[in-house]
Amino acid sequence: MEYRGYDSAGVAILNSKGLEVRKRVGKLSALIETIRQRPIHGQIGVGHTRWATHGQPSEINAHPHTDCTDRLAIVHSGIIENYALLKERLLAGGHTFRSQTDTEVIAHLIEELARSYPMREAFRRALKELRGSYALCLISADEPTRLFGARNGSPLIVGVGKREALFASDVPAVLERTRRVVYLQDHDVVELSADGVRITTMEGKAIRRAPTRISWSLAAARKGGYPHYMLKEIHEQPAAIAHTLTNRLDAAKGHVTFDRRTNAFLDRLDLREQLVLIACGTAYHAALVGEYMLEEVARLPVDVDLASEFRYRGPLLNRSTTIIAITQSGETADTLAGIRLAKEQGAKVLAICNVVGSSIAREADAVLYTHAGPEIAVASTKAYTSQLTALALLTLYLAKRGRRIPAAQWHRLLEGLARLPKTLERALASEAAIKVVASKYAAARNFYYLGRRYNYPSALEGALKLKEICPLIHAEGYAAGEMKHGPISLIRKGWPVVVLAPQSSVYEKVISNIEEVRARSGECVVIASEGDAAIKRYADHLITIPKTEECFSPIVAAVPLQLFAYYVADANGCDIDQPPNLAKSVTVE
């Protein structure tokens, strides 16, 4: 689970000695070393990799957290919002706290309740007092053959193996042991024991949840010879988008379709009504491209919002609004809250999502899965291009349904989309050349990225990739036409500016923006279409990409942007798969 948090880690194991705990600050490898030196054994335990919310990374703040008597241990993902009040009460009741975390209150709360109730009941009563989000697991020396778990707003699954069961926050963690997984839902309370998996409501009423068989292979969740997951996932993009297209696009027959539920959802839409795309981070950049596609090609009215803004700005929604939530993990807290808000106000929700069975996939009215396979690197790559591919399919479907597209254009786009996996393979062939350009700029500390129209979001995404995995660098993406309204004042000799200039309806405008940068002695790394000989004289360094339809150009341009960021970060010795301060799925606010 290291990609979900890696500032500290710990385990607690129950055995004949009681509870044994090992914790270390830093990567999981530090904890592994400690356990090598001081082994622990047992058949039941809990472990956790932390992304700090309350209290800095330290051994004391690392999970598991124990009660005053060290008889029970808790691991927790999420935030307990009323922890301060609970802590005050527990302190007054004589409990001693060791950490600054919100999680520790849960351990003491259960300890307190276990004085009056059996552990199962104490656990449930404690959950009822918690406000906020949690996926949590508990072991107790008083119930040495049981593992307790519960979720509310944070992902938790149960892997059902042969004579064993496991809790985890995400599927890759259990793939080595089992492919049978139960996706827990909010307010589920679970007990794992030799008797099996027992799921109940908070009130103790039994619930049946059938296991799902996971199709992801273990190899898909491993590095497969690449030095980093990010590089592996960049290279997986032709296959990932081919999966997004499979069974949905038939260019020969001129056909786009989805599963029955999604088709029915799309066929019911009133195409005069507003579509609102919400997402966070890279998925938000995909949404921006989606806006251009849906407006230009399908002629639909579209709004785009960051989920974290959307949920608090009091959006005007009604039964005819359709929300399209874009998310790789399907667990991002802000996006989940956004769709819940929208549903409360009667809006319909379509999710574009990668993780089957995730919270957003379950709560949406229909889901368009991207089928990109597990994405482990913190920096999103194949999830992004497969989201764009899904948006392209959606655009074509709705354009046809609304009869808003001339037949010739429809067929041209369909064929361009069907060719995309091959086009991306060709884009990957420039890797060596991109590495050379990246090495030239490895020492630069500020970058601008510029693009217009479909490639304005590409500029944002290119800059995000670089600053995300190379924390030494400041990078900003701008709409190229905005430069002259402020950002251009920073340009000086040698300042690297990555410009997206593939053949497009705004090509000449972008050339003018390059001229403006060069007039101020900035240096342009230009990403242009293959065969564009004229652009050479404007570029300090040229990276070429295969030609495609303008609306698909961000999918192709993503490849050199990702590789450029990767090789700049690599040359700087950055921890590419686990950049500081980040975590893969942001399941807290």
In the complex, the residues that contact ligand F6R under the rule CB under 6 A are 280-283, 327-329, 332, 335, 379-380, 464, 468, 585-586
Cβ pair 524, 499 in contact under 8 A: yes
Tell me the closest approach of the beta carbon of residue 51 to ligand F6R, in angstroms.
12
If the CB atoms of residues 353 and 545 are measured against ligand F6R, the closer one turns out to be 353
* Residue 117 tokens, joined: 């109730």
Instruction: Give me the residue whose beta carbon is nearest to ligand F6R.
Output: 281
Cβ pair 357, 183 in contact under 8 A: yes
Tell me the closest approach of the beta carbon of residue 286 to ligand F6R, in angstroms.
8
| Distance (Å, whole) CA 10 – CA 362 | 31
Tell me the closest approach of the beta carbon of residue 36 to ligand F6R, in angstroms.
32
Tell me the closest approach of the beta carbon of residue 116 to ligand F6R, in angstroms.
41
Tell me the closest approach of the beta carbon of residue 406 to ligand F6R, in angstroms.
34
If the CB atoms of residues 160 and 283 are measured against ligand F6R, the closer one turns out to be 283
According to DSSP H, which parts of 441-506 are helical? Answer: 456-469
Task: Map tokens 């490849």 to a residue.
Answer: 559
Cβ pair 340, 312 in contact under 8 A: no
If the CB atoms of residues 458 and 513 are measured against ligand F6R, the closer one turns out to be 458
**CA of 462: how far to CAs of 162, 381, 433, 498, in Å?**
45, 11, 17, 9
Q: At what angle do helices 553-571 and 382-401 cross, to 10 degrees?
A: 170
* CA dihedral for 149, 332, 106, 38, sign (positive or negative): positive
Tell me the closest approach of the beta carbon of residue 111 to ligand F6R, in angstroms.
35
Tell me the closest approach of the beta carbon of residue 496 to ligand F6R, in angstroms.
21
445 phi, psi to nearest 5 deg: -115, -5
If the CB atoms of residues 8 and 381 are measured against ligand F6R, the closer one turns out to be 381
Tell me the closest approach of the beta carbon of residue 1 to ligand F6R, in angstroms.
15
Helix (H, G, I), strand (E, B) or coil at 40: coil
| Distance (Å, whole) CA 577 – CA 561 | 16
Burial class (CB in 10 A: 0-12, 13-18, 19+), 137: buried
If the CB atoms of residues 61 and 332 are measured against ligand F6R, the closer one turns out to be 332
If the CB atoms of residues 7 and 104 are measured against ligand F6R, the closer one turns out to be 7
If the CB atoms of residues 80 and 280 are measured against ligand F6R, the closer one turns out to be 280
| Distance (Å, whole) CA 477 – CA 463 | 5
Q: Which residues pair with 158 in a beta bridge?
A: 167, 182
| Distance (Å, whole) CA 66 – CA 50 | 16
If the CB atoms of residues 289 and 526 are measured against ligand F6R, the closer one turns out to be 289
